[in-house]
């Protein structure tokens, strides 16, 4: 699958990225994110630091319970087990040679729920991407295209997530408001059908 991010200088120039499961080295790199001094930084940078810290903590808990995976095959093995765990933790990264080769430019932490759907808990780009001159965009689009592929392989019908005030309009634009299912009545908890994500993934391949 071909995925791209865009430069943050207002141009339409696109740069290729690779989505994959996070490994031990990636988790070490995400730990480095949490060392950024976010006290007087932009909100996005503060969120990236906080989200990385929370995601690693939750990943560690699921790993201790043998319900965190680093591949589709491992997830399918747990799903098919005689006594499967109620939830499975998934940690993904976007890697780009133009950023820092071998290091995450962004990450996403999800859980496969007991009903088989995917729940997105945290998604963030690198703290340094909020420094003028290092900005890039398109992280949500790239990740959700990847989620579409993962949802198909894990037989997940929906991806759920909580939107923030700042991200709501972006998701409306990405999916079309008619494809976002708001079941909460609070305008912040949404779901998108995997069929919609397949379309997004198909479009990513054609870009």
For residue 175, what pLDDT is reported?
76
Q: Tokens for 47, please give them.
A: 């969120």
- The answer to which of 9-13, 129-133, 145-149, 184-188 has the lowest mean pLDDT is 184-188
Query: Distance between CA 201 and CA 188 in Å, rounded?
Result: 24
Largest CA distance in the chain: 52
pLDDT 10s digits, 15-44:
889 999 999 999 999 999 998 876 767 888
Residue 207 CA to residue 198 CA, distance in Å, equals: 15
CB-based contact 132:54 (threshold 8 Å): no
Architecture field, domain 3-206:
3-Layer(aba) Sandwich (3.40)
Contact 88, 62 (CB under 8 A): yes
- Whole-model pTM over 0.85: yes
């Amino acid at each position: 699958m071909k995925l791209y991010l865009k430069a943050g200088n207002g141009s339409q120039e696109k740069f290729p990225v690779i989505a994959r499961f996070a490994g031990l080295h990636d988790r070490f790199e995400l730990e480095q994110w949490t060392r950024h001094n976010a006290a007087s930084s932009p909100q996005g940078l503060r969120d990236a630091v906080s989200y990385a810290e929370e995601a690693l903590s939750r990943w560690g808990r699921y790993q201790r319970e043998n319900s965190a995976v680093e591949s589709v095959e491992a997830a399918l093995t747990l799903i098919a087990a005689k006594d499967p765990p109620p939830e499975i933790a998934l940690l993904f990264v976007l890697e780009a040679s133009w950023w820092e080769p071998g290091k995450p430019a962004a990450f996403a932490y999800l859980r496969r729920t007991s009903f088989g759907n995917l729940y997105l808990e945290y998604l963030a780009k690198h703290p340094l991407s909020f420094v003028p001159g290092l900005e890039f965009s398109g992280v949500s689009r790239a990740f959700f295209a990847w989620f579409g592929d993962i949802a198909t392989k894990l037989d997940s019908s929906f991806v759920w997530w909580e939107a923030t005030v700042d991200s709501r309009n972006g998701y409306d634009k990405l999916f079309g408001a008619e494809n976002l299912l708001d079941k909460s009545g609070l305008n912040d908890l949404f779901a998108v059908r995997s069929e919609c994500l397949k379309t997004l993934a198909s479009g990513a391949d054609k870009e």
